[in-house]
Amino acid sequence: MHISTNMAGTTMAFPNVCLTPAPPAPNPVPIPYPSIGQCATAMAPTCALRVKILNKNVMTVKSKVMKTNGDEAGVSGGVASGMFGGPVTRTQSSLKVNVEGSPVVRNLDVIGSNGPSPNAPVGNQLAPSQTVVICMS
């Protein structure tokens, strides 16, 4: 699988069930949305600082993508997390390849989306950040 960097790459989790105003209903209605994160928005200080691929920082389990998109209409928050547009949490990584003391994350690794108790607990990085360096373990 291709190692993730903050060059490109997309994560997605579905369904992210958020409470959405639906007039004329008096209360918000739970509606499923996609939760999409962009690796390019990863905070550079949370990525590897000295190890780069194609001049972009390598992402590890410590890397933070703070904002997701796709569930903005659910302004009353997620059913499970109480938030919308929350961060991507990396829940899977390489077991053998570490960069600066942290395991690298790869394309197709499992992610949680929308906060620490994710609305959409199972998702993946579906689009690779780069297609040059592969991690086989």
Helix (H), strand (E), coil (C) string for 19-47: EECCCCCCCCEEEEEEEEEEHHHCCHHHC
At 119 the pLDDT is 66
pLDDT tens digit string along 44-66? 999 999 999 999 999 999 999 99
C-alpha distance from residue 10 to each of 22, 24, 90, 96 (Å): 30, 36, 13, 23
At 77 the pLDDT is 87
Collapsed DSSP state (helix, strand, coil) of residue 78? strand
Task: Provide the whole-model pTM.
Answer: 0.88
At 122 the pLDDT is 83
Q: For 132, what's the count of Cα atoms within 13 Å in the CB-facing half-sphere?
A: 10
| Phi–psi pair at 75, nearest 5 degrees | -65, -15
- Write out residues in the chain with pLDDT < 50, as ranges: none
Quickly list H helices, the chain.
none
